[in-house]
Chain A
Amino acid sequence: MTNLTGGYLDTASSEPLHPAARETLLAALDQGYGDPRRLHGTGRSARLLLDNARAVVAECLGVRPAEVTFTASGTDAVHRGLLGLLAARSRVGRQSLVSAVEHSSVFHALRWAGVPLGTLPVDRTGRVDPMSAGARAEELPGPLAVAAVQHANHEVGTVQPVAEIAAALGEAPLFVDACASAGRLALPEGWSALAASAHKWGGPAGAGVLVVRKGVRWESPFPADDRGDERASGFENVPAALSAAAALQAVTAEADEVARRQHALIARVRETVAATIPDVEVVGAPEERLPHLVTFSCLYVDGEALVTELDRLGFGVASGSACTASTLTPSHVLEAMGALSHGNVRLSLRRDTTEEEVDRLLATLPGVVAELRSRVGMG
Chain B
Amino acid sequence: MTPALELDCRGQRCPLPIIELARRIGEVGVGEVVAVAATDVAARLDVQAWCRMRGQEYVGEEPAEDGVPRYLVRRLA
Q: Is the CB of B14 within 8 A of A300?
A: no
B13, B19, B23 pick with most chain A CB within 10 angstroms: B19
Stretch at the interface among B25-33, B37-45, B59-67, B68-76: B37-45
A6 is an interface residue with CB less than 8 A from chain B: no
Contact of B14 among A281, A341, A378 (CB under 8 A): A341
Q: In the complex, what's the smallest C-beta–C-beta distance from A71 to chain B, in angstroms?
A: 33
Alpha-carbon separation in the docked complex, A339 to B44 (Å)? 11
The residues in A between 330 and 369 inclusive whose CB is less than 8 angstroms from any CB of B are 330, 334-335, 338-343
Cβ B19 vs Cβ A341 within 8 A: no
A305 to chain B, nearest CB (A): 10
Q: Which residues of B contact A (CB under 8 A)?
A: 13-16, 18-19, 22-23, 40-42, 45-46, 48-50, 52-54
Contact B49 A343 (CB under 8 A): no
> Closest CB of chain A to B14's CB: distance in Å?
4
Instruction: Assess A323 versus B13: contact at CB under 8 Å? Given A279-B53, A340-B50, A341-B45.
Output: yes
Bound state CA distance, A40 and B48, in angstroms?
66
Chain A, 288-302, contact with B by CB distance < 8 Å: what is the 0/1 string? 000000000101111
Chain B residues, Cβ within 8 Å of A297: 49
> In the assembled complex, how far is the CB of residue A335 from the closest CB belonging to chain B, in whole angstroms?
5
Residue of A nearest to B52 (CB): A338
Residues of A within 8 Å of B14, CB to CB, are 302, 321-323, 330, 341-342
Contact indicator B15/A329 (Cβ below 8 Å): no
Determine if A39 is an interface residue (Cβ-Cβ < 8 Å). Answer: no
Minimum C-beta distance from B55 to chain A (A): 12
Contact of A340 among B19, B23, B46 (CB under 8 A): B46
Residues of A within 8 Å of B48, CB to CB, are: 338
Tell whether, in the assembled complex, residue B23 and residue A342 are in contact, meaning their CB atoms are under 8 Å apart. Answer: no
The range of chain A's interface size is 20 to 34
Q: Which residue of B lies closest to A340 (CB)?
A: B49
Chain B residues near A1 (CB-CB < 8 A):
none
B45–A330 touching, CB < 8 Å: yes
Known contacts A281-B53, A322-B40, A340-B50: A299-B15 contact under CB 8 Å: yes
Which chain B residues lie closer than 8 Å to A377 at the CB level?
19, 23
Bound: A334/B53 CA distance, A: 15
In the complex, the chain A residue whose C-beta lies closest to that of B15 is A342
Q: Give CA–CA (A340, B41) in the complex, Å.
A: 13
Cα distance, A16 to B63, chains bound together (Å) = 48
Q: Which residues from B are CB-within-8-Å of A340?
A: 45-46, 49-50, 53
27 A-B interface contacts by CB (under 8 A): A279-B53, A281-B49, A281-B53, A297-B49, A300-B15, A300-B18, A301-B15, A302-B15, A321-B14, A322-B13, A322-B41, A322-B42, A329-B41, A338-B45, A338-B49, A340-B45, A341-B46, A341-B49, A342-B14, A342-B18, A342-B42, A342-B46, A343-B15, A377-B19, A378-B19, A378-B22, A378-B23
Measured between beta carbons, the chain A residues less than 8 angstroms from B15 are 299-302, 342-343, 376
Minimal Cβ-Cβ distance residue in B for A298: B15
Whether B18 lies near A334 (C-beta < 8 A) is: no
Most buried by A among B18, B22, B48, B50: B18
Query: Nearest chain-B residue to A373 (Cβ)?
Result: B19
Contact of B18 among A299, A330, A335 (CB under 8 A): A299
Asked whether, in the complex, the Cβ of B42 is within 8 Å of the Cβ of A341, the reply is yes
Nearest CB in chain A: distance from B76 CB, A:
17
Alpha-carbon distance between A341 and B15 when the two chains are bound, in angstroms: 9
Among B13, B48, B49, which residue has the most Cβ atoms of chain A within 10 A?
Answer: B49
Separation of A356 and B22 alpha carbons in the complex (Å): 36
In the complex the two chains form, what is the Cα distance from A281 to B52 in whole Å?
Answer: 10
Cβ–Cβ < 8 Å partners of B50 in chain A: 299, 340
Closest Cβ of chain A: how far from B35's Cβ, in Å? 20
A122 to chain B, nearest CB (A): 14
Report B47 CB to chain A, min CB distance, Å.
10
